[in-house]
Structure 1
Amino acid sequence: MALVLCAALGALLSSALPGGGPLTGPVHWPRLGLLALLHACWDSLAQGSPTPCLRTARAARAVFAGRAPAGGARPAEDGTGGAVFLPVLFAGVLMLPPAAAALVAVPAALVAPAAAPRALRRAWNAAQLGLSAFAAATLFRLLHGPELLLGSRFPGAALPALAAVALFCLVNAALVGGMRYLAEDDRTRITEGLGGRLAGALLHGAGGLMVAVLWQGPYGAFAAVLALLPFSISAWVSAQGSRERRAHRATVQALVQAVEIKDAYTRGHSERVGRASVLIARQLGMAEDRLRTLHFAGTLHDVGKVGVATELLRRNGPLSEQERRAVEVHPVLGHELVRGIDFLGEARGGILHHHERMDGRGYPSGLTGDRIPEFARIISVADAFDSMTSTRSYRRGRPVAEAVAELERCAGSQFDPQMVGALVAAVAEHGWQPAPPPPGGWDGEVPDIPLGVPEPARRSATDLLRGAP
């Protein structure tokens, strides 16, 4: 990060060179000031709404805190410091020398809302934006873009402009990806969604090109500002959607925290199950909108435990039949608790049926095979995997390889073989960081409920229900 800050500072200081330097040229300060003001004003409309290629503040949180979340956990999204109004920024890339283009986003970045450490986070945002803009503006000049733009020679002028926008996104993606890797130790997110973000940024780049052309026309800056209105409306609508998604996440976290108060083991388990569920679903090629809902379902799969006696949840030893029945009602309680939360959608079915089995000996409905909702089949595997690999106060967690072998042994009877195969492939590709031992260590090797159902099965249905806790 220090290297990025120093490089950005050097790029900005190049504007002070006599004549602006070989690639910069003289700085048109009034134009720079107006663009920076426009960027700051319109940027406020998009606060909390991540742009197609800029999500730096939340990715940097763990690095600034000096730690990386265990197991590749994603930093919580705080919605601060991640919004950038790209059309104005790209217009600056096309209309200003590189060092001046790097300055357009700096004022807004330095005053944007940010969580602690505010100064360092704001400096990082300003630095990575400044470097991206500097690189893009330099490429635009090397491709003789200003000459083509002044003469409005199209489509010739559009090609250097789009190349500059693409370079801006690539530089930004490299910087953000590096920060994500340091923060999360997760290579899979470095290029995650890069294609879609690049396509969206190119669209905004076309808007920046339109602003630059109109600005240099007979009506000057006034026409350019009018051209920004559709983009500002789009930014405002996107911000509303982002606020709604944050409200959804806050609702889910509040429900999970209610369970964590009762059951210390659930602390962290819920989020790990949500993350493992997403790993499985990504391996299966699930659409992004369903991935978000699945993460909610995995995170809330045990929310019904809030209605189970605390003493039963914290019991280290075996449960009686009556006590087991009291615990096994938690999927129904969880479904009833979230029934009225519309945004959860099919996540509710995943919560209700995550203890069903492929052979029909699960609960609460005894569903079989494909009659079990897809979300529930995924969560069942993720739940069992984290349960086995997690170290609790009364027993060590199993090694990942041993947990995988147990899942494969029970595939077809308890678990969907397709979901087991997807988890095995995902763990082999991305790895898995089990939950760390509890602060007090473990008191002994007390076995918990076995994962598989014992054979032969000449017992009551309740005795046969041996799903992962």
Structure 2
Amino acid sequence: MDRPRRRTLPWGARAVLLGAVAGAGACALPVVRADVPWGALGLLAGLYALCEWPARCPFLAGRLTVPSASGCFFPVLLAAAFLLPPAAAALVAVPGALLTRAEQEPRSLRRLWRAAQLALAVGAAAEAHARLGGRALLGGTPAAPAPDFPSVLLPAGAAALVFCAVLAALDGLILWTAERLPARTAWRGLLLRSLGPYCVHGLAGLMMAVLWRSPYGPPAALLVLLPMYVSCWVFAQYHREHAAHQATIRALVQAVDIKDAYTRGHSERVGLASVLIARELGMDESRLEVLRFAGILHDVGKLGVPTRLLRKDGPLTPQERAVIELHPEYGHEMVRGIGFLGEARAAILHHHERLDGSGYPYGLAGPQIPEFARVVAVADAFDAMTSTRSYSRARPVRTAVEELQRCAGRQFDPAMVRALVRALDRHGWHPAVTADEPDRGAGGARGNVPACDSAPAGRP
């Protein structure tokens, strides 16, 4: 059996790695001739290494829910930046960074990069803190036994900002050289996304440093880590749950795509168009993801429809159409027990209702139709008209919009149609148009085109 091919590191990334390692070494070099509190350095370095070790240990990682190396233990590093000279503070990060769990190859180089990156960031933060006189403001000395609040916040905040900026700059640099992303893409948003969390880490690190200098000593400083760890654990649990939700949605969508090849990619585009409409309506951000789920899963009930009907060439008989028109009810039954879908379940059940009451499955009219269902109905029809399938060719966006506007007030909610038009004017419509099978010349009666002047002529 051939061994998996090891990923090679581009030369640019190797140069960045060597430069970071050399810079970290230069940052820590003064420790050999400086008056360093080795006891505090050893305790802080050991504490950070101990925090990172469970994620690397196979025995503990399989039995404990250990937050990944996402910064939940950065208060230890920032406390070191507040308590120690820059060279010593830089060394605190190295043992723990070398123990950090690396998910991808080359693991040893990733750990080395992490160690150099953190050493540079902590050293720079400690330098900024020292230049602003932060260590003298922490208290714990005969001349100043108590911390000088609020003056102590300025150097601590500056150090946290420098720490954040160095990490963001180096993260963007390695993305640019190792992942070969465009420079603007590599650095875009890195600093702004991390600024808030790192300021919180800075406050926690400041509390650790103040308690460390207090009469209670280092054991009291450890108490700060407990709420930080708990908050990071809760955050990690949320992301695991969110990932499980996404996996559930993906599995259902893939099952529909396999069963009805004509709609492959349609579900994701309906979800995207639904969110565009909702944003124009000023819908609350907390509802947008649920609405996206509604768009993605609106046709999940097709899993309960015989495949021969979904793939039939030519017009459907009234009996066959009646069977296919059961798919909203099938879909609603399938997702009834999925609690996180919330309002999406009503959209799945009612997205084929019409404003004039001529839709299905229950013939609801006007405001009786749930808001999510009215949004998804417009997004569904728009994508059906602008996508090329084996039984109908894509219409231009302008033609599809004109058709929606013609049917507004009878089939579609005019407010939703106007919101889609505004969104298209603002953002355009760029998703890839798919044609999953060659055009077989089947009758256009299969098309999902709105026909608001008569009974629905197209596929449900």
1:99 and 1:430 map into 2 onto residues whose CA distance is: 51
Q: Describe the shift of the 1:127–1:283 C-alpha distance in structure 2 as closer, same or farther (beyond 3 A).
A: farther
1:16 aligns with 2:25: yes
Give, as a single letter, the amino acid of the residue that structure 2 aligns with 1:434. P
Deviation at 1:340? Answer: 2.0
Bigger CA radius of gyration: 2
CA distance in 2, matches of 1:267, 1:239: 32
Cα distance in 2, alignment partners of residues 237 and 375 from structure 1: 30
Alignment check: 8 A CA contact 1:283 1:426 kept: yes
Percent identity between the two aligned chains: 51
2:100 equivalent to 1:88: no
Moved more, 93-102 or 418-427: 93-102
Question: Does structure 1 conserve the Cα–Cα contact (< 8 Å) formed by 2:52 and 2:69?
Answer: no
1:449 maps to 447
Matched, 1:154 2:166: no
The whole-number CA distance in structure 1 between the counterparts of 2:124 and 2:223 is 28
CA RMSD of aligned residues (A): 4.4
Judged with a 3 Å threshold, the aligned counterparts in structure 2 of structure 1 residues 427 and 240 are, in CA distance, closer, same or farther, namely same
- TM-score, normalised with respect to structure 2: 0.75
- More displaced, 374-383 or 134-143? 134-143
Deviation of 1:387 after TM superposition, in Å, equals 2.0
Corresponding residue for residue 49 of structure 2: 37
**Structure 2 residue aligned with 1:295:** 292
Q: Distance in 2 between matches of 1:236 and 1:127?
A: 26
* 1:112 paired residue number: 101
Residue type of the alignment partner of 1:383: D
| Aligned residue among 155, 165, 173 for 2:160 | 165
Task: Answer 1 or 2: higher relative contact order, Cα 8 Å, separation at least 6.
Answer: 1
Deviations 1:157-193 (A, max 9, x none): 2123224434555676788799799989999x96599
Q: Measure the CA separation in 1 of the matches of 2:181 and 2:400.
A: 27
Cα drift, residue 110 of structure 1: 6.8
Cα deviation code 1:255-303 (max 9, x no counterpart) = 2232222112333322232233223323333334322322222221111
Bigger Cα displacement from structure 2, 370-379 vs 401-410? 401-410
Which amino acid counterpart does residue 371 of structure 2 have in structure 1? E
Q: Deviations over 1:395-454 (max 9, x none)?
A: 432333433343333333322233233333334444433334446554459634252225
Aligned to 1:408: 405
The 3-state SS of whatever aligns with 2:223 is: helix
**Structure 1 residue 329: deviation in Å?**
1.0
Amino acid in the other structure paired with 1:148: L
The C-alpha deviation readout for 1:184-243, integer Å capped at 9, x for no partner, is 9999x9659968x75454333311211122233444432221221122222223333333
* Counterpart residue identity of residue 298, structure 1: G
Which ranges in structure 1 are unaligned for 5 or more consecutive residues?
50-79, 458-463
2:228 counterpart (226, 231, 234):
231
- Aligned equivalents of 1:311, 1:425: Cα separation in 2: 39
> 1:420 aligned to 2:422?
no
CA contact (8 A) 1:453 1:466 kept: yes
CA distance in 2, matches of 1:395, 1:6: 54
Alignment-derived partner of residue 211 in structure 1: 208
Return the alpha-carbon distance in structure 2 between the equivalents of residues 404 and 117 of structure 1: 51
Q: Are the structure 2 counterparts of residues 102 and 19 from structure 1 closer, same or farther at C-alpha, using a change threshold of 3 Å? A: closer
1:195-344 superposed matches below 5 A: 198-344=195-341
- By how many angstroms is 1:352 displaced? 0.5
Tell me by how many angstroms 1:83 deviates: 6.3
1: CA distance, partners of 2:17 / 2:319:
66
2:134 to 123, 140, 145: 145
Aligned twin of 1:76: none
How far is the alpha carbon of 1:305 from its aligned partner? Answer: 0.3
Q: Structure 2: how far apart are the matches of 1:15 and 1:9?
A: 10
Give the superposition deviation at 1:344.
Answer: 1.9
Taking a change above 3 Å as real, the CA distance of residues 241 and 429 of structure 1, as seen in their structure-2 partners, is same
Conservation of the 8 A alpha-carbon contact between 2:387 and 2:393: yes
Counterpart code for 1:280: I
Q: TM-score, normalised by structure 1?
A: 0.74
Distance 1:361 1:218, change over 3 A: same
Cα distance in 1 for partners of 2:49, 2:424 equals 48
Alignment partner of 1:365 is 2:362: yes
Q: Determine the structure 1 residue equivalent to 2:5.
A: none
CA contact (8 A) 1:35 1:92 kept: no
- Stretches of structure 2 that go unaligned for 5 or more consecutive residues are 1-8
Q: Which residue of 1 aligns with 2:375?
A: 378
Displacement of 1:378 in angstroms is: 1.7
1:465 is matched with 456
Correspondence for 2:6: none
The answer on whether the counterparts of 1:128 and 1:172 sit within 8 Å (CA) in structure 2 is yes
Answer yes or no: is the 8 Å Cα contact 2:28–2:91 preserved in 1: no
| Structure 1, 283-292 or 339-348: larger mean CA deviation | 283-292
